[in-house]
A and B are shown apart, each in its own frame.
Chain A
Amino acid sequence: MTTYDDRLAAFSGRVLVERRPAPDPVNVPMIRQWVEAMGDANPRYLGEQPVAPASMMQAWTMRGYAPTDASAGAFEELVALLEEGGYTSVVATDSELDFHREVVPGDHLSVEEVVESISAEKRTGLGAGRFVSTLKTYRDSADEVVATQRWRTLRFRPAEPAPEAVLRPRPAINLDNEFWFTAAREERLVVQRCADCKALRHPPGPCCPDCTSFAWDTVEASGRGTLYSYVVAHHPRHPAFDYPLLIAVVELDEGTRLITNLTGATADELTVGMALEVEWLRADADLTLPVFRPVRPREH
């Protein structure tokens, strides 16, 4: 059974564009227009014995603007095969020209294009695609090679437009919890403390459940703790997170617990009770959150 890759591979070595003569011989008027357009004042191009700029090589043999018969050529066949694979877009990636002699007015050039190779599918910034390398050979009317051009295009499947960055769900900031999120933005992990009985509490609230005092302040936590429990979330997926997502309850050395994310470890490296330390996640411009990573042995 012939696979798609086999069908593409069959193009290697095939003539993609049959030898095609330039519509006009190399001539001074076209050289003049080119150097004017390019702003190239090199006197060699329009002197006593004019020489065509090397950069004009492709220009001599280009097809004109008039419609051409696009049926049944090898080139059209290849384009159709690539489209079948979803590679509907094209971008030229590189062109290596090798000049054998200078081209002068009176030369009547022709070009032939042969497929060198078609790559396996590559992932690129533009999308998944295949690099098609061909060799274009430019000859004069005596069949002498005047230049060759290794020509590479990327035929690609346009990548889905990048989804708009989705932010983590917002905390609902109110008078009872604002201090904690403000401290987090400054990368300080704080714990609410009763100003009277000194009991720590989290999640925070307006009243101390131990002594009913409404007076409170905060203490800054050491950022050290242990893994009390954890979840490896798979489904459903929220676009702000990468999955599997590690969510944990961490017991701080100060004694309170908090819900957080784990970083720097995979699910199978987690054990309840393991030592953790805080790390700060700048989730976005408005939200900085404490996350926890395993405590590594100290480096000397």
Chain B
Amino acid sequence: MGSLSGQTAIIGIGATEFSKASGRSELQLACEAVVAAIADAGLRPGDVDGMVTFTAESSAEIHVARNTGIGDLSFFSRVPHGGGAACGTVAHAAAAIHAGLAEVVVCWRAFNERSGERYGLGQASRPMDTNADRAAYSWMTPFGLSTPAQWVAMFARRYMHEYGATSEDFGRVAVLDRARAATNPKAWFHGRPITLEEHQASRWIAEPLHLLDCCQETDGGQALVVVSAARAKDLPHVPAYVVGAAQASGRDQHMMTSYYRPTISGIPEMGLVGDQLWAQSGLRPADMQAAVLYDHFTPFVLPQLEELGFCGRGEAASFVADGHLELDGSLPLNTHGGQLGEAYLHGMNGIAEGVRLVRGASVNQPGDVGNVVVTAGTGVPTSALVLGAR
């Protein structure tokens, strides 16, 4: 069958507004995003024959399909593990198209994550049962370790200890994201940049994480349309080719608490994803003109740079401080403002930004972007893409 690289493309993107209280059902948000993405692709709902979303999604494909006029489906799947699913949805879509299981696949994620069920409040009050997923929390919640911020803070403290990184090093990521969001009208934090001093002065959430190390919570929806490379050529937008698409779960993987590995200062699953991306695409980190790295919490952006090979282990703090991630740097980062600045859409809005970068249509377009790497959730089984102009 040959390599997946370049065989498919994201040809349509669509989103709702990003808010704190949508006032609409999660199903409606999903439908709005899906309808918008199909229209952006220059297609009609009846053209769609495949759908992929997250296991965390509350609206099954049958509900979205029935409401939006999507008819017969020949492929549908779901990707588990929270935000780690984001790029995995596109990987599933690309694989299905490449294998001939479907021709037009919509990937989406929609939720009222701010006005509805807030992930940031943690797992302590969730009902328990004895399946392996829930039982895994038995080692955490009785000790009060129940929120994503706390789970990440445990990694962050160890990273600081091993590499001498500081809270300011994490803060620079937040400052950069918020600077990009400040010039993005779609971003929740449009017009509201922050300084490193403000980051340092923000209250503790879970030391060593300040409030401004933690991404916001969002109501909204984001959808993407994936088609074959051949079909993409007939559609109106510049195709964002799926040059690389990979999922990975590492040895001794846990959900956000892989604290039992020989070392916890890296993200092995992200390294595995990177290895696959470079192998599939024949590209190297230096071939990327931009990056959209998952930033639910700032500390995990640093080891992502290391795992993907943009810098050596323990060097990410200086890599960031040296300005590589700025718009005029070697690897402009999160040009939409990231999840810290634009919206927390479980990484799906980051993929849409990757598409815009390839189209040359980002509000913070750093120049021609031949290839952009996009990652999904960190600390969980994850996924990533390389999107390219060819």
A233 at the binding interface (Cβ < 8 Å): yes
**From B129, B150, B204, B205, contact of A247 by CB (8 A):** B150
A229 and B154 in contact, given A203-B136, A257-B259, A259-B259 (Cβ under 8 angstroms): yes
- Bound CA span A273–B124, Å: 28
Q: Is the CB of A231 within 8 A of B142?
A: no
In the complex, chain B residues whose CB is within 8 Å of the CB of A241:
144
Q: Which B55-86 residues sit within 8 Å CB-CB of chain A?
A: none
In the complex, chain B residues whose CB is within 8 Å of the CB of A245:
144
Q: Which residue of B lies closest to A256 (CB)?
A: B260
Q: Is the CB of B146 within 8 A of A169?
A: yes
In the complex, chain B residues whose CB is within 8 Å of the CB of A110:
none
In the complex, chain B residues whose CB is within 8 Å of the CB of A233:
144-145, 147, 150, 153, 206-207
Q: Is the CB of B204 within 8 A of A174?
A: no
- Taking the nearest CB of chain A, how far is it from the CB of B133, in angstroms? 9
- Bound CA span A229–B322, Å: 28
- Taking the nearest CB of chain B, how far is it from the CB of A2, in angstroms? 36
- Bound CA span A176–B124, Å: 21
Q: Which B103-155 residues sit within 8 Å CB-CB of chain A?
A: 120-125, 128-132, 134-147, 150, 153-155
Q: Is the CB of B204 within 8 A of A169?
A: no
The number of chain B residues with a CB under 8 A from chain A is 42
Q: Is the CB of B207 within 8 A of A234?
A: yes
A238 at the binding interface (Cβ < 8 Å): yes
A168 at the binding interface (Cβ < 8 Å): yes
B264 at the binding interface (Cβ < 8 Å): yes
- Bound CA span A257–B261, Å: 9
Q: Is the CB of A289 within 8 A of B121?
A: no
In the complex, chain A residues whose CB is within 8 Å of the CB of B157:
229-231, 272
B231 at the binding interface (Cβ < 8 Å): no
In the complex, chain A residues whose CB is within 8 Å of the CB of B132:
174, 176
Q: Is the CB of B128 within 8 A of A170?
A: yes
**From B130, B141, B153, contact of A174 by CB (8 A):** B130
The number of chain A residues with a CB under 8 A from chain B is 41
A8 at the binding interface (Cβ < 8 Å): no
Q: Is the CB of B142 within 8 A of A289?
A: yes
B158 at the binding interface (Cβ < 8 Å): yes
Residue among A168, A181, A259 with the most chain B CB within 10 A?
Answer: A259
Q: Is the CB of B260 within 8 A of A169?
A: no
In the complex, chain B residues whose CB is within 8 Å of the CB of A80:
none
**What 1/0 mask marks residues of chain B from 219 to 239 whose CB sits below 8 Å from any chain A CB?**
000000000000000000000
Interface residues of A (CB under 8 A from B): 168-174, 176-177, 181, 202-203, 209, 228-236, 238, 240-241, 244-245, 247, 249, 256-261, 267, 272-273, 283, 287, 289
Interface residues of B (CB under 8 A from A): 120-125, 128-132, 134-147, 150, 153-155, 157-158, 161, 203-207, 252, 257, 259-260, 264
Nearest 9 pairs of A and B residues by beta carbon: A171-B138, A232-B207, A174-B130, A169-B141, A229-B158, A172-B128, A231-B153, A272-B161, A172-B135
Please list 14 pairs of residues, one from A and one from B, whose beta carbons are closer than 8 Å in the complex, sorted by A's number. Answer: A169-B141, A171-B139, A174-B130, A174-B131, A176-B135, A203-B139, A229-B264, A231-B153, A233-B207, A234-B204, A236-B122, A244-B204, A257-B259, A260-B143
